[in-house]
Structure 1
Amino acid sequence: MFVLVLGASGFIGFPAAQALVRAGHTVYGQTRSEQKATQFAKEEIIPIICAPDSDGWYDILAKLDVVIDAVGGMAVHEISQAIYKRTSDAAARLRPAGAPKLSYIYTSGAWVHGDSRTEIFSDTAPLTPQAFVAWRPSDEQLVVTDTVLNGIVLRPATLYGRSGSLFESLFKGAKEGKAVWPGKPGQRLSLIHCDDLADLYVRLAEKAHVVGGLTFDAANGISESTDAILERLVHVSGATAYEYKEPTNLFENAVASSVILRPYLARSLLGWTPKKIGLMDGLEVYYKACVAA
C-alpha cells in the first residue's frame, strides 16, 4: 500500500509511520521541519515538507491507498476539520475515475466518552464528551459518513511509553522532586502504549475497505488507578511526594477525568491485542525512557 501519515513527527504519527514501514508498505510522512524530514529518511519514511492542511501533498493523492490524520496540538480542531474537508474535495477532483475510495483514518480520542469512575464504555456506547473535545463527535460522524472517502475513526485512550505523552510533565515534576497531577484521588485511567496503537493503525490501514465507516476505541484490557501510579512514581523517581491539584482549564479537566474502556471491535474484527506491559507494572522503564528523551 501507499500510505500518507499527516503529523508523522508526532507522538502518535511517528510510531504509526515506523510500524507501517516495518509492515512492508510505502509510507509518506508529512512534517513542517527539515530536521524531521532527515529523520524520516533515515527511517525509510518518504518525507513531505508542508503544512498538513495545505495542498503540498496532493501530487501523490491519486496513488494513495490510505491517509492517516494523526495531527495533534491545541489547534487540532481547526486543523483536522480543514484537513478532512480539503482531502475529501481533492479526492473527488484528483482521484482517477473508477478508483477505489481513498481510505481516511481520523484520530479522535477517548475523552468523547465523558467522565465516569463507575461506568464502562465500549466502542459503540453513546457519547457524552468532555467540554474540551465537545466538537469531536460531529467531526467523527462527518468522516464515517463521507460519500467520497472511506472514513474510519480511531479513538486512542491515554497514551504512554517513549517520551511520555501526557505523562511527560508528571515525570518531569517527579524528577524535580514532586509529582503533580490534576484532579482528585480515585481516578481510573484507560491507557494504550504508543507501539500498540501503531500496530492498530497498520491493521486498520490493511483492512480499511472491510471496516470502513466504523469507529474503534483503542485501550488496554483493564483501567489503572492514578493513585497507585503516583505512589509508584514517587518510589521509582525518588520524588519527595505527589499531590493532586485543582484543574485550571478545560484541558486539565479532561486529563482529570475517568474513562473506563472495554473496546471490542478491534479485537473481534482485526485480531488486535495490546502487547506492551501496563503503565503501573512497567513504570520504572517508562519513567526512565521519558527522562532520557
Structure 2
Amino acid sequence: MRVFVTGATGFVGSATVQELLRAGHKVLGLARSDAGANAIAAAGAEVLRGNLEDLDSLRRGVAQADGVIHTGFNHDFSRFKENCETDRRAIEAMGAELAGSNRPLIVTSGIGLLRPGGVVTENVQPASNPSIPRVSEQTAYAAAEKGARVSIIRLPPSVHGAGDHGFVPILIGIAREKGASIYTGEGLNRWPAVHRLDAARLYRLVLEKGRAGARYHAVAEAGIPFREIAAVIGRRLGVPVVGKSPEESAAHFGWFAHFAAIDNQASSALTRQELGWEPTQAGLIEDVDQAVYFQA
C-alpha cells in the first residue's frame, strides 16, 4: 500500500514510517520544514510539504494514498486547546476526502484521560467531558458516519524509547530543577506504557488487518505505579525520592501536576487477540533506567 503519514518525523510517526517501509509498503510523509523533509527522504519515504493547519496539503496527501495514518499532533501544552482544534480540523478534512473510498484512516487518540482509577478497555467510549478539548475519536467517528473507513489507536501516557521527549523527560527535568523526585501520597497512581517500536508495529497491523470502527490499544504494560518511575529518576539523578501531599505535589509539578496524577490501568487484551500484536521491546522502567534519558 501507499500510505500517507502525518507526524512522519515525530517520535511515534518516524518509527511507524520505518515499520511500514520494512514491511514493503510505500510511504508519503508530511513535512513542514526542510529538516523534516530531509529526514523523511533519508528514511526512504516520499515527501509531501505541508502541515496540519494546511488542509489543502492534507487533502493532496490523502488523494495520493491507499491509506492514511494520522500520528501528527502538536504537544505544546501552552497551546493545548488550539492544537486540539487543529487536530479536529485535520481529521475532519482527511475524513471527508476518504468518504466512500474504503481506504483506511487510522487516527491516534490517548488513554490517559479515560476512566480515571479504573481499567480502560478498547470498549470504553471516548470522554465526553466538555473540559477536555481533544476530540480526535469523536471527530473520527463523525467522519465514519459520513462514509470514511476509520480505526482508532489509543496511546498510553508514556510512549518510551530512544529520542523520547514526552512525559518521563518532563518528570526528569522537574526533578533535576527541584532537587527531588516526587510522587503523590503513596505513589500508587498508575501509568500505562508502550515502547515506540511496539506502537509502530501496531499501526502497521491496524493498517493491514484492522476493522472499520474499531478501537485498538497500544498498551504493553497495563499500569506502572508512579513511585516506581519516581524511584528510577531519583536514583539516576542522585536526588531524594519523596512522597508528598496532593497540595505539595501540585506546587512541585506546576502545570504538569494533572499529568503526574494520572491514574488508570489499560488493557490491550482485545487488541492482542484480534491482531496478534505482542510487544517485544523493553518495558518502561528498564528503558528509563539508561543514561540516554538523563543526558542534560
TM-score band by shorter chain is 0.7 to 0.9
Matches within 5 A, 1:266-277: 266-277=271-282
Equivalent residue number for residue 166 of structure 1? 167
Q: Select between 147-156 and 196-205 the one with higher mean Cα deviation.
A: 147-156
Q: Distance in 1 between matches of 2:276 and 2:230?
A: 33
Counterpart residue identity of residue 123, structure 2: T
TM-score by length of 1: 0.84
Contact 1:154 1:217 in 2 (8 A): yes
Question: Does 1:280 find its partner at 2:279?
Answer: no
Equivalent residue number for residue 152 of structure 1? 151
Equivalent residue number for residue 50 of structure 2? 50
Which consecutive residues of structure 1, in runs of 5 or more, have no partner in the other structure?
93-98
Q: Distance in 2 between matches of 1:162 and 1:171?
A: 15
The 1:223–1:91 alpha-carbon spacing in structure 2 relative to 1, beyond 3 Å, is closer
Matches within 5 A, 1:1-80: 1-53=1-53, 54-73=55-74, 74=80, 75-80=82-87
Counterpart residue identity of residue 41, structure 1: A
Matches within 5 A, 1:245-260: 245-246=249-250, 248-249=254-255, 252-260=257-265
Q: Distance in 2 between matches of 1:124 and 1:291?
A: 37
Equivalent residue number for residue 292 of structure 2? 289
Contact 1:37 1:49 in 2 (8 A): yes
Q: Select between 160-169 and 186-195 the one with higher mean Cα deviation.
A: 160-169
Shift of 1:113: 1.4
Equivalent residue number for residue 216 of structure 2? 216
Shift of 1:216: 1.1
Which consecutive residues of structure 2, in runs of 5 or more, have no partner in the other structure?
75-79
Q: Distance in 2 between matches of 1:132 and 1:60?
A: 29
Contact 2:88 2:136 in 1 (8 A): no
Q: Distance in 2 between matches of 1:243 and 1:163?
A: 29
Contact 2:107 2:137 in 1 (8 A): no
Q: Distance in 2 between matches of 1:137 and 1:100?
A: 20
The 1:178–1:132 alpha-carbon spacing in structure 2 relative to 1, beyond 3 Å, is farther
Q: Distance in 2 between matches of 1:124 and 1:264?
A: 11
Shift of 1:90: 2.9
Contact 1:189 1:259 in 2 (8 A): yes
Select which of 79, 91, 94 maps to 1:84. 91
Select which of 261, 268, 281 maps to 1:263. 268
Q: Select between 124-133 and 162-171 the one with higher mean Cα deviation.
A: 124-133
Provide, for residues 135-154 of structure 1, a one-character-per-residue CA deviation record: whole Å limited to 9, x for no partner.
455335324x3333210111
Question: Does 1:101 find its partner at 2:106?
Answer: no
The 1:243–1:182 alpha-carbon spacing in structure 2 relative to 1, beyond 3 Å, is closer
Shift of 1:242: 5.3
Consecutive aligned runs of 4 or more in structure 1 exceeding 6 Å deviation: none
Shift of 1:273: 1.0
Q: Distance in 1 between matches of 2:101 and 2:141?
A: 21
Contact 1:192 1:219 in 2 (8 A): yes
Q: Distance in 1 between matches of 2:34 and 2:242?
A: 39
Aligned residues: 279
The 1:265–1:129 alpha-carbon spacing in structure 2 relative to 1, beyond 3 Å, is same
Contact 2:219 2:267 in 1 (8 A): yes
Shift of 1:170: 1.8
Q: Distance in 1 between matches of 2:23 and 2:51?
A: 26
